[in-house]
Amino acid sequence: MLTKLCQCAYHSLLIFLRNVIGLQDGAPGVALAIHTFGDYPEKFHPHIHAIAADGLFLKTGTFYVMPDVDLKPLEEIFRAKVFALLKEEGKIDDDIIRKLIVLPCKNFFFL
């Protein structure tokens, strides 16, 4: 599951950057580190630390810088991907997703 969580983060960033920059190809420069915290299962808190370039690299080496935009859409993409993963893995269902969506949370990245 932790590898799949990293894939959610990477693909969310990829979709977001390609949309914002307006390119159909290109790859983000990103390093992801899995961090687990707390005792399993009661307080287990897996999360990802990431450092990423603010744009996309083409195979030619050209780098396209992301404009200064709101990151809220990236958060929403990631949130949807994590919910889809958890549902696919049988960890949550649509009812739980509906309940989580309405929880007051300033930033899903820190949920």
Question: 49 phi and psi, to 5 degrees?
Answer: -100, 140
| Amino acid at site 70 | D
The CA distance from 71 to 2, in Å, is 23
Q: What's this model's pTM, rounded to 2 decimal places?
A: 0.85
- HSE-up of 74 (CA within 13 Å, CB side)? 15
The predicted-structure confidence for 22-65, as pLDDT tens digits, reads as follows 999 999 999 999 998 887 778 888 889 999 999 999 999 999 99
> What was the pLDDT predicted at 37?
82
